[in-house]
Each structure stands twice: as C-alpha cells, then as structure tokens.
Structure 1
Amino acid sequence: MATALFVIDIQNDLATDPNTKIPHSDRIKTASGWILSSARAALESNTPGGSRPSLIVFVQHEESPESGPLVRGSEPWKLVFEPRAGVAKERLVAKSARSTFESNPNLASELRAVGVKEIVAFGIQSECCVESTCNSALEAGFGVTVLSGAHSTYDDSGKSAVDIEREVEERLKTKGAKIVPWENAIAGWE
C-alpha cells in the first residue's frame, strides 16, 4: 500500500515571519524537519512496507494580491521546506482553495494511478487547509493519518491554537482518520 505524505502550507508568512507566523511555528518547523528527514530516508531506502511514504506532496497556497499575502513569487508565499529538484517522488502542488483536492480535481486519480491508498498529513493551518485537505481525502476514499503535534494554527475566538488542534483531530477522528503523534509515525518508517 503506497502512502503520500502531504506537507501543507508551511510557508514563510505562516511559519517564519515574526509579524505573522503562528504561535507554535517553531514546533511545526522542528517536527517538519524530522518528518521530512525520515520520509526522505524511507524514499531512498526503496524498501516497501508499512506506512512509509512512497511520495511526498508539498502543498503551497496562493492568493490574489487583494485576498492575502500569499501571492505567487512573493517572499511570504515561499515554502520553508521545498521538494528536492529532480526527485520524482517529491512533487509540488499549488492550491487556491482550502482543500488541496478541490484546487486540483485530478489529484485523487493521479495518486491512485501510482498506487496511493493512504494520505499522511501535517502543516498549517489546522482548522483550514489541513482539515479541509484531510476531509477531501477521506471523501475520495483514501485512508488518512494526521500527524499530531505537527500541525497548528493561530489562537482564535478565545481558543488557543493547541485547543483548535485537538478539536480538528477529534472531528477528523470521528470521520475515520487516524491521529498519530508524529514521533510515533516516523519511528514506524525506520
């Protein structure tokens, strides 16, 4: 069973800009570094099995100048972690809606064509693009695993980012997603 690792919207505006980054951006960047290092080692080992990623999908949100700062080509829009050039098992997917699948109507069939049955997701923002992408993956019939501790958002409406993370995990769990601490997930890839 092939697995695609989705790295969702870890972009400068959300993760590195001191004026706009989410409160837990350092935790997300640290977790992302470990996750990507482990995923890339699994890709290079070419040993099939388990929930090891066989493809890494880097998702990059873009907006019009009127709707937000994530304008294609701008510094805020740039990814903190990018796909490696010339590595076929790492790909970049642009999106303009919350759900990666909504912005890319052929993505589900493209993933199925290479044997992907499971999506493992992490990134920014928990209740926006992470949750929407996971919901669409579930609706398309993929198994979904959310990497707990490796997704986050802004504090909002009197709720802390961590409370929102947990609420998103609970909503996705009720729809059939698995919630796994990122450290446990990467331990299974080695």
Structure 2
Amino acid sequence: MSRTALFVIDIQRALADSPGTEISHARRIRDAGASILDKVRANIDEAQSRGEAPGLEIIVVQHEETRDKGNLQLGTRAWQLVFPPHPSPHETLVSKNIRDTFESNPGLADELRARNVGTIVAFGIQSECCVLSTCKGALAADFRVVLLKGAHSTYDAEGKTAEEIEREVEEELRNEGAEVVDWNKWSKGWD
C-alpha cells in the first residue's frame, strides 16, 4: 500500500510568528498546523504501538536565503521553524533555497518513492510561491498531490487579498491534477 508524506512548507518565524513580517493569516496557519501535526503524529505513534509501519511521514521544509535575497538566513530567528521535526525516523527536515522543494533537492522524489510514498499532502506558506511550486514539482514527479485548503496562505499582494490568492492557487493546482481538500476534513481521516 502506498504511503503519504505530509509536507509542512516554510512555516518559519518571519512568515508565521513575528509581528511586522508575518502573513496576515499567520494564526490560522499556526492553529491548523498544530492540529494537523498532532493528529498525524498520534496516527504514527498508534501504528508503531501496534507494531505496524505508519502509512504517514512528515517532511518539514525550511527555506534558506542569502542576505541579499531575504531575511530567512541560516541560523537567524527569522529562519527558525514554528514546527520543527520531532526526533523520529518518520520526520525529516528538508532545506531548500528555491521555491520548489523537489527542484532544490533533486534526489528527494526517488528517496520518497523508495519509502513507498505515492501521495504528497501539502500546507504552509506562501501559497503562490513555495506551496504552489512544491506542489507542481510533486505533480511533475508523478506523485498524487493534495493541497490542504485553509492551511496555506500568503501576504496580500498586487491588489489581491491573501484569500483571493489562496483560491487562485487552489484552482491552478486543481487544473493541473491536484486535489484540494479542507484541512479539517483531511485530518479527521487520521483520527
């Protein structure tokens, strides 16, 4: 049976937990992220307690920038993760320096396939940047992709609200073959 990798994309202090630089819906993303991760981790723990291999794993993605590109510089508070991975064989930290996690990590798709991952479920920050690009990278690598509605967001930009941008990204990914599922509905499936 195919496994699922939950991608937690760029939920870093500057974007999600720093007044003045965080996205306007940072609290929503933090709350959704905490709930999703609690349920997924409980599911992993439950499978292990029964002596079974979990059907889920967690991939925490962390963006790194150089000083001239932005404030997510290695080692800074801005760069730190709101949800760091737990020490577990079922949680992996993946760094990237461009929007698409797969392009930034050319061997990642093969590593996931070797672990029998067939589905990528994604949420995080920024909808139209790293979330969109990583989902497209996963689609290009022939993974089934699920974007968690309500658990990704961005800044208001170019005369559009964050919510409008979220909907545009969801529609674009639907048109490319991804599924868009409300995060509450998806995470209830792991209770």
TM, length-normalised to structure 1: 0.96
Instruction: Say which of 33, 49, 57 aligns to 2:59.
Output: 57
* 1:44 shift after superposition: 1.0
* 1:45 shift after superposition: 1.4
Distance in 1 (CA, whole Å) between partners of 2:160 and 2:55 is 33
Superposed CA RMSD: 1.2
Are residue 167 (structure 1) and residue 168 (structure 2) matched? yes
1:66 aligns with 68
Distance 1:127 1:53, change over 3 A: farther
Partner amino acid, structure 2, of 1:6: F
Extract unaligned runs of 5+ from structure 2: none
Partner amino acid, structure 2, of 1:71: Q
* 1:72 shift after superposition: 0.4
For 1:1-12, what aligned pairs fall within 5 Å after superposition? Answer: 1-12=2-13
Instruction: Say which of 65, 80, 83 aligns to 2:82.
Output: 80
Distance 1:37 1:141, change over 3 A: same
Are residue 97 (structure 1) and residue 98 (structure 2) matched? yes
Distance in 2 (CA, whole Å) between partners of 1:57 and 1:136 is 15
2:149 aligns with 148
For 1:100-111, what aligned pairs fall within 5 Å after superposition? Answer: 100-111=101-112
Identity of aligned residues (%): 53
Matched-pair contact (CA < 8 Å) for 1:62–1:70: yes
Partner secondary structure for residue 102 of structure 1: helix
Q: How many residues align?
A: 186
* 1:100 shift after superposition: 0.3
2:123 aligns with 122
* 1:167 shift after superposition: 0.3
Deviation digits for residues 40-75 of structure 1, max 9, x if unmatched? 011111189xxx851100000000111110000000
1:188 aligns with 189
Extract unaligned runs of 5+ from structure 1: none
Partner secondary structure for residue 120 of structure 2: strand
Matched-pair contact (CA < 8 Å) for 1:4–1:116: yes
Partner secondary structure for residue 157 of structure 2: coil
TM, length-normalised to structure 2: 0.95
* 1:8 shift after superposition: 0.1
